[in-house]
Amino acid sequence: MSVQKPVKRISAPDIAARKGGEPIVSLTAYHAHTATIADDHCDFLLVGDSLGMVMHGYESTVPVPLELMIMHGRAVVRGSKRALVVVDMPFGSYEESPAIAFRNAARIMKETNCGAVKLEGGARMAETIRFLTERGIPVMAHIGLTPQSINVLGGFKTQGRTRDQWAAIEEDARAVAEAGAFAVVVEAVAEPLAARITRDIPIPTIGIGASAQCDGQVLVMEDMLGLSPRVPKFVKEFGKVGEAIEGAIRAYADEVRARSFPAADHTYGVKD
């Protein structure tokens, strides 16, 4: 009898080794069943704090608590076997000090069994990234548009549209790479700058609204499936799942009102 070998899960070092190679594929995932569907096709699944907006109706990612990230992180780990699972550290869980960041990152990894955490911020978070990585926690960084900072940025604004902004963003990229991040998300950054950063730093860049020249791409799954009512310019809808769901619900409602559902095939008779 043949014994099927267990699937080896992709690790943070595996992602780091993909710099300049085959593009890295990623999507967000928040539930076990969508993680199962995406697992065969994605190199890593991001349990993004965007779940606060997509799943829970918040207007931004700022209110998302640590416990919510852990709950969804557990579900995605349970639903996947192959992809690296990266869990976002929510606003307020890592900024105060490297020690507090470590405590919360360690809790995420221990309680979800994920393979890495992600935190926002460039040069200002370099010390924290170094502190975590030196203590065994793989860190994915996030620069450019950092959604947790929208109250400072004044909204979800594209970064690097003028060249006088480039130096600071490039310094952020260099700083997180030197601090030990294994990869960096580059969000809503002007295409030429994102391509330049990708060429200049030794770790993979994961673009979202950036450049096709990035080492990989990530999108919010619900956005690319056509489930979200409003999406940024950088999103391509690869499906129309929202329309399909609405059509199915409409058909169900019509049949219930017409008393044609449930039919005989969907009910149970009596056994005498």
pLDDT the model gives residue 129? 98
Strand bridging mode 24-28 / 44-47: parallel
d(CA 56, CA 68): 10
d(CA 72, CA 42): 18
User: What SS3 class is residue 150?
Assistant: helix
User: What SS3 class is residue 55?
Assistant: coil
Q: Is 187 a catalytic residue?
A: yes
pLDDT the model gives residue 18? 98
pLDDT the model gives residue 154? 75
Our measurement of the distance from residue 69's CA atom to the centroid of its chain's CA atoms, rounded to an integer in Å, reads: 11
Transcribe 229-249 into DSSP letters: SS--TT------HHHHHHHHH
pLDDT tens, position by position, 64-81: 999 999 999 999 999 999
Q: Which ranges of the chain have pLDDT less than 50? A: none
Strand bridging mode 116-118 / 84-88: parallel
d(CA 184, CA 266): 51
Q: For residue 253, give Cα distances in angstroms to 107, 256, 264, 266.
A: 44, 5, 18, 16
- Identify whether 262 is preceded by a cis peptide bond (ω within 30 of 0): yes
- Report the predicted TM-score, pTM, of the whole model to 2 decimal places: 0.94
- Known binder of ligand: residue 254? no
3-state percent breakdown (helix, strand, coil) of the chain, nearest 5: 45, 15, 45
The DSSP symbol for 82 reads: S
d(CA 258, CA 260): 5
pLDDT the model gives residue 139? 98
- Known binder of ligand: residue 50? yes
Alpha helices per DSSP H over the chain: 12-16, 32-39, 51-54, 66-79, 98-112, 126-134, 150-153, 166-179, 191-200, 221-224, 241-257
- Known binder of ligand: residue 95? no
pLDDT the model gives residue 111? 98
pLDDT the model gives residue 4? 66
pLDDT tens, position by position, 189-230: 999 999 999 999 999 999 999 999 999 999 999 999 999 988
d(CA 92, CA 104): 10
- Just give the CATH number of 12-263: 3.20.20.60
pLDDT the model gives residue 1? 58
Catalytic one among 22, 187, 222, 255? 187
